[in-house]
Structure 1
Amino acid sequence: MIQGLKKIFGLGPKVDFNELMSKGAQIIDVRTPSEFNSGHIKGSLNIPLSNISENLAKIKKDKPVITCCASGMRSASARSILTSKGYREVHNGGGWMSLQQKIRK
């Protein structure tokens, strides 16, 4: 049960987000445009969770994907959607502010 929840929320083994970035990871911010415009990680792409399925062409399948939002709930849903669509390396980065602190720019 706990393991299943960890998998759903992407809380498995610790992820090295800097290593993912060095591999060309794409950061997909799934908050609303107004949330995104109030602050976001430089270089991230804003695709609201409600629109993610229609915007798959904007997300490269051959690069790691890091999803983020305000708290980690929507990004967990986005991760599930992307993995169900065939994306192999998708990580839930959680809230964008904490993710920003984990990534050295």
Structure 2
Amino acid sequence: MDIVKKSSGAEVITVDINAAKDLLTHGHRYLDVRTEEEFKKGHLENALNIPYMFSTPEGRVKNPKFLEQVMAICGKEDNLVVGCQSGVRSVYATRDLLDAEFKRVLNMGGGYIAWVGNGFAVKKSDNVEI
């Protein structure tokens, strides 16, 4: 596990794909912070999709309601694994969640690309497993 320290004391803990898969099969929820467009192309089964950033004509901008949207469906004591496309946005999202006093949040290193690269099952938005 990699640990990224933040000056506020919160630590982002990154787990590899295999550890994340094991956690997800033992009760953790998966929070996918990719854009809706990315999510529709394929995602982990039972994933919650709350984009951390939106694509705009000017580039990507942070979702101003990210924390509010997560808190509407997740409790601060929930076991969460946060992932994105490659593992960068999820670090920032995990840090924001930790700063908002979420207690059990882990970042999935390598993101969706690594998940697919390991041959793990994914679903498309039409719920067809590939």
Query: Normalized against structure 2, the TM-score is what?
Result: 0.63
Structure with higher helix content:
1
Counterpart residue type for residue 21 of structure 1: L
Percent same amino acid at aligned positions? 28
Within the alignment, does 1:85 sit opposite 2:85 as a pair? no
Question: Greater Rg, structure 1 or structure 2?
Answer: 2
3-state SS, counterpart of residue 106 of structure 2: strand
Residue in structure 1 matched with residue 66 of structure 2 by the alignment: 52
Counterpart residue type for residue 33 of structure 1: E
Which one of the candidate residues 84, 89, 109 is aligned to 1:74?
89
* Counterpart-to-counterpart distance in 1, 2:4 and 2:66: 20
Within the alignment, does 1:33 sit opposite 2:30 as a pair? no
Structure with higher strand content:
2
Counterpart residue type for residue 82 of structure 2: T
Counterpart residue type for residue 60 of structure 1: G
Show structure 2 runs of 5+ residues with no match.
Answer: 6-11, 53-62, 122-130
Show structure 1 runs of 5+ residues with no match.
Answer: none
- Please give the residue correspondences for 1:3-14 in structure 2 after superposition, counting only pairs within 5 Å: 6-7=3-4, 10-11=13-14
**C-alpha displacement at 1:6, in angstroms?**
3.9
Aligned length: 101
* Counterpart-to-counterpart distance in 2, 1:63 and 1:15: 20
C-alpha contact (below 8 Å) 1:66/1:92 kept by paired residues = yes
Deviations 1:28-83 (A, max 9, x none): 00011011001110110100002421212212322211111111110001100110
